Structure 1
Amino acid sequence: MRWPLKNQILIRMLVLLLVAVASLTYASIHSTISAHRKAELDSLSRIVELMSTTKFPLTPAVLENMKLLSGAEFAFGDGKGNVLSKTSGSPSLPREGVGLTTESEQATSARVIEDSDRSWYHESISDVRDPLNPASPRVLHIFVSRQTARSVWIDASKTPLMIAASVMLLAVLLSLALANQVTRPLATLNQQVRKIAQGDVQQIPAVSRNDEIRDLNTSINEMAVKLEDHETQLRKNERLRTMVQFGSSMAHHLRNSATGCKMAIQLLASEKKIGDDENFLVALRQLELMDSFIKKFMLFANAPESGETQAARESNPKAVLENVIFLLRPSADHLNVELSVRSESDQSTIEMTEEDAQQLMMNLISNAIRAASERLASSSAARGGLVEVELFVQDGRFVFQVADNGAGPPENVVETMFDPFVTGSKEGTGLGLSLVKEIAARSGGNVDWSRENGMTIFRFEAESIQGKAI
């Protein structure tokens, strides 16, 4: 059976308060009754002490006056059970041995007697001398009204019970308020967890309280963020998997076409005797580069989870850059983009395969050429497109930097431009920068970008190896 948390808090709190209030109420009533009984006995003792020293005749008139002063009832007898005088409300004289003595009354000789519907404390004084008849000893009976146990309990319990009822009511209200403070946020968190289970990973607004509820709220929000990231990564992996499956088929056909094209160009070159023509050499190298990339892609597509990684090899960045510039300069000239290159220290090498270095440089430079050419096409700027390529060693680190005067990446892709399939260009695939980032990580380096003085700058850094022969 489901037992809501609100009921658990409320019932347990009420049981605890009920026990505490009942204990305090009983103790208060018992203390009040004891004090009341003691006051009654003290009153009787004072009257006995006063009447023991009296020297005046105890006539009915005198006894009535004593009743008005003390509130007690009196009976004056001869010691044989005969009443000589008494007050109007005095009960009948008790028989010998009749009466009940309680524990609280054992300090005195008072007895408790019952007369009709009333209860009395009874005390007698023997050997009282009557001035009117000194020779005959007399007995003075004194009666002090004693409340019944029921009436004492009723009178004594009224105030404590009223206080107890007020405390219980207040406790119920406080318990409900406390339970709501706990259960309402929990209900909200429960609804959010259900939404997360259904795929809605929106975060919950932060609560202003500083307790375990806030910690739980924070944990659920962190879980939602991680689930959203995980879901995004799963979608990316699924797209990559689909791309690999589709690309492996396309790569096979592209390789066949590239091989046929290469053979046709070689035959044409031999027939026309243009083997030394620069454009012919660029086309031939581009086809060879395409063939190597397709071959590498097919190896990866056929065994994407083999776990095998190519051993790191040293490459000469300057030699790689010269080859890349040779391949890309015709494209820059065709698009009216000035390609400026500054390369320093041809003795530096880097722990990166030549293929990775070529792919990294080609992606960054070709992106810059495209960005600079798009600037020319979208504006009437007098200055043409410009791409500046720098290669140098700084503080023991190899630095490759590409800057262009294009418009820069759109704001909607700034945070995710290095993710797969993210691009700000109409003709881009969104794979170039993600591949650059992967190569940088694989070589132990890093790549970042900035926008300075109207130039978009991509910068790659990694540890260089000095003193190696080229």
Structure 2
Amino acid sequence: MPTPSPFRSLRLRILAPLIATAVLAAGLVSIASYRLGTHWATVELQARFAGIERSLSVANFPLNSMVLGSLAELTQTELIGLDANGKVRASTIEVTSTSITAMRPLASDLESLSPVSVTLAGRRYRVFSFSVNGSPDRQDWVAEVVVLFDEQRFSDSRRRTAMLPLLTGLSTIAALTSITLWLSSRLVRRIGNLQERVEGVAAGDFESVVSDDVDDEIGRLGGAVDSMASQLSQLWKQVHRQESQKLLHQVASGMAHQLRNSLTGARMAIELHAMSCTDDDDEGIQVAIQQLERSEDYVRRLLLVASGRQDEDRPTDVRVCFEDVQSSLAPMAKHLNVTVQWQSNESITLGQVKDGPAWVAAATNLVHNAIQAGDEVVVRLDHVDPSNVRLTVTDNGPGVEPSIADELFEPFVTSKPEGMGLGLPLVRRAAEHLGGEVKWWRIDQQTTFQFEVPVTRADVGSHTIGSES
């Protein structure tokens, strides 16, 4: 996936307008504060000048250099006393006649917010003046006082007024940017995880999750994606199962046709042998014919399944089915030197299952697998309740490989080199057809399969009997 341009980043799109707005707001506030500071500084200057004018214009004490120096230090100004001819009588700053001549026309009142300024001794001053009452009769001959306010102090006052909101605005911008950057980074990270999850789902990964514990829009969206992935996983498994079942039908059809021909020939050969045999009670021949008949029935059912049809259900007593499985598999277990304990409730009947052949096929498969896996097998049939019967098959074999444990009942899933993976899917299909369920677990080095189906009636005893082969 191409790397997105940094200018298209969600983080930048969130931060840029926010920071721009904050900077603009801080700038406008600083400008307004500067203008307001200028006004306040001018008002303060007015108040200071008015105080100086009230004090000196009617003063009876002489305005000599010492007095003006003390007053200048108190008011933080420079004072110049002039006589009626504009001659300097006393001053707190070194000034020439030329400077006084150039300064006097510039002196103004404080009605204007932009009074004039002059430069004296390398410093800029704002110039104001006022007349002294009774100047002809004064001993100091001072008729006019020129007040010089330091321009630097005035500018510093304006800057201090504007600096506080500017610093406040900048610190707010910094804090806001940090918090927003953290929040946006967390948001972008969560969105990135959500994007990876969606891409994984698109690529077929339905197992990983992206939802977190945050109950917000992104958290709920992540939960919706996980829910969608779960539904897609179920749909995929269903489609895969349907495809496997179609393939299973095709395989069953091919195998059934071949088996039917072979079984027909084998049965004819055994019947011919039985006709020529003098011992009418030959148990081996009878067992062989019985197994061939059962195999032919299985083949017939396979052909029906392959053609998309279902054989008619044949309700059968579950005890009869159990004894049928025992009689058919006991010789195999004896031949393989496998100890099998056959346990069932000692009762008149355990009830009838919906379809006896289906139950026998499933039970036979489970017991047959156990016999192949271990050398000690326990097969137990008992009631769960009056309306349900349970077959439990336990063996001490190595168990199911972890790689196929989650898909054990899917068609064509097997760990046997010679196996096709069709037995356990048949068991699950039988359980679904009979209205029951099949499950398995492994505890204490023993593997257990449990096949539970409903029965139409039950008369349960309390005593348990067992037999071994």
TM-score (norm 1): 0.71
Contact 1:67 1:73 (C-alpha < 8 Å) held by counterparts: yes
Contact 2:304 2:311 (C-alpha < 8 Å) held by counterparts: no
Residue 3 in 1 paired to residue 13 in 2?
Answer: no
Aligned equivalent of 1:364 = 366
Residue 459 in 1 paired to residue 450 in 2?
Answer: yes
Query: Counterpart amino acid of 2:332?
Result: S
Contact 1:40 1:144 (C-alpha < 8 Å) held by counterparts: no
Contact 2:19 2:173 (C-alpha < 8 Å) held by counterparts: yes
Aligned-partner Cα distance in 1 for 2:127–2:314: 116
Aligned-partner Cα distance in 2 for 1:262–1:14: 91
Sort the Cα spacing of 1:125 and 1:159 in 2 relative to 1 into closer, same or farther, 3 A: same
Return the offset for 1:18: 0.4
Aligned equivalent of 2:111 = 101
Query: Counterpart amino acid of 1:393?
Result: H
Aligned-partner Cα distance in 1 for 2:204–2:341: 51
Sort the Cα spacing of 1:27 and 1:371 in 2 relative to 1 into closer, same or farther, 3 A: same
Aligned-partner Cα distance in 1 for 2:400–2:435: 28
Contact 1:443 1:462 (C-alpha < 8 Å) held by counterparts: yes
Residue 269 in 1 paired to residue 274 in 2?
Answer: yes
More displaced stretch, 430-439 vs 63-72: 63-72
Residue 432 in 1 paired to residue 440 in 2?
Answer: no
Aligned-partner Cα distance in 1 for 2:118–2:370: 119
More displaced stretch, 335-344 vs 436-445: 335-344
Contact 1:397 1:461 (C-alpha < 8 Å) held by counterparts: no
Aligned equivalent of 2:325 = 324
User: Which residue of 441, 454, 463 maps to 2:432?
Assistant: 441
Aligned positions of 1:15-414 closer than 5 A = 15-58=20-63, 66-67=71-72, 70=75, 71-75=77-81, 83=86, 87=90, 92-93=103-104, 101-102=111-112, 113-114=115-116, 120=126, 122=128, 124-125=130-131, 127-128=133-134, 130-132=136-138, 140-145=144-149, 147=151, 157=162, 179-183=184-188, 186-187=191-192, 190=195, 193-194=198-199, 197-198=202-203, 203=208, 237-272=242-277, 277-303=282-308, 314-337=315-338, 340-343=341-344, 344-372=346-374, 375=375, 387-403=377-393, 406-412=396-402
Query: Counterpart amino acid of 1:48?
Result: E
Contact 2:78 2:149 (C-alpha < 8 Å) held by counterparts: yes
Return the offset for 1:74: 4.3
Query: Counterpart amino acid of 1:409?
Result: G
Contact 2:383 2:389 (C-alpha < 8 Å) held by counterparts: yes
Aligned positions of 1:411-426 closer than 5 A = 411-412=401-402, 416-423=407-414, 425=416
Between the aligned residues of both structures, percent identity stands at 26
Aligned-partner Cα distance in 1 for 2:37–2:106: 32
Sort the Cα spacing of 1:214 and 1:95 in 2 relative to 1 into closer, same or farther, 3 A: closer
Sort the Cα spacing of 1:401 and 1:95 in 2 relative to 1 into closer, same or farther, 3 A: closer
Unaligned runs of 5+ in 1: 104-111, 376-385
Q: Deviations over 1:149-203 (max 9, x none)?
A: 9887567556765776676567666665655454456556645654654557785
Aligned-partner Cα distance in 2 for 1:331–1:132: 145
Aligned-partner Cα distance in 2 for 1:92–1:246: 118
- Does the residue aligned with 1:345 lie in a helix, a strand or coil? coil
Return the offset for 1:356: 1.4
Aligned-partner Cα distance in 1 for 2:337–2:86: 144
Contact 1:324 1:362 (C-alpha < 8 Å) held by counterparts: yes
Aligned-partner Cα distance in 1 for 2:177–2:395: 73
Return the offset for 1:393: 2.8
Aligned-partner Cα distance in 1 for 2:161–2:340: 105
Query: Counterpart amino acid of 1:36?
Result: A
Contact 1:363 1:436 (C-alpha < 8 Å) held by counterparts: yes
Aligned-partner Cα distance in 1 for 2:34–2:372: 96
Aligned-partner Cα distance in 1 for 2:394–2:126: 115
Contact 1:350 1:398 (C-alpha < 8 Å) held by counterparts: no
Aligned-partner Cα distance in 2 for 1:290–1:18: 88
Sort the Cα spacing of 1:166 and 1:394 in 2 relative to 1 into closer, same or farther, 3 A: closer
Query: Counterpart amino acid of 2:427?
Result: V
Return the offset for 1:44: 1.3
Query: Counterpart amino acid of 2:383?
Result: V
Aligned-partner Cα distance in 2 for 1:388–1:294: 29
Sort the Cα spacing of 1:421 and 1:102 in 2 relative to 1 into closer, same or farther, 3 A: same
Sort the Cα spacing of 1:35 and 1:311 in 2 relative to 1 into closer, same or farther, 3 A: farther
Query: Counterpart amino acid of 2:300?
Result: K
Sort the Cα spacing of 1:257 and 1:54 in 2 relative to 1 into closer, same or farther, 3 A: same
More displaced stretch, 322-331 vs 265-274: 265-274
- Does the residue aligned with 1:143 lie in a helix, a strand or coil? strand
Contact 1:387 1:403 (C-alpha < 8 Å) held by counterparts: yes
Sort the Cα spacing of 1:28 and 1:339 in 2 relative to 1 into closer, same or farther, 3 A: same
Sort the Cα spacing of 1:271 and 1:349 in 2 relative to 1 into closer, same or farther, 3 A: same
Contact 1:124 1:140 (C-alpha < 8 Å) held by counterparts: yes
Query: Counterpart amino acid of 2:134?
Result: V
Sort the Cα spacing of 1:197 and 1:445 in 2 relative to 1 into closer, same or farther, 3 A: closer
Contact 1:58 1:85 (C-alpha < 8 Å) held by counterparts: no
Aligned-partner Cα distance in 2 for 1:263–1:219: 63
Aligned-partner Cα distance in 1 for 2:66–2:15: 66
Sort the Cα spacing of 1:51 and 1:77 in 2 relative to 1 into closer, same or farther, 3 A: same
Unaligned runs of 5+ in 2: 460-469
Return the offset for 1:328: 3.0
Sort the Cα spacing of 1:465 and 1:158 in 2 relative to 1 into closer, same or farther, 3 A: closer
Query: Counterpart amino acid of 1:44?
Result: F
Sort the Cα spacing of 1:458 and 1:285 in 2 relative to 1 into closer, same or farther, 3 A: same
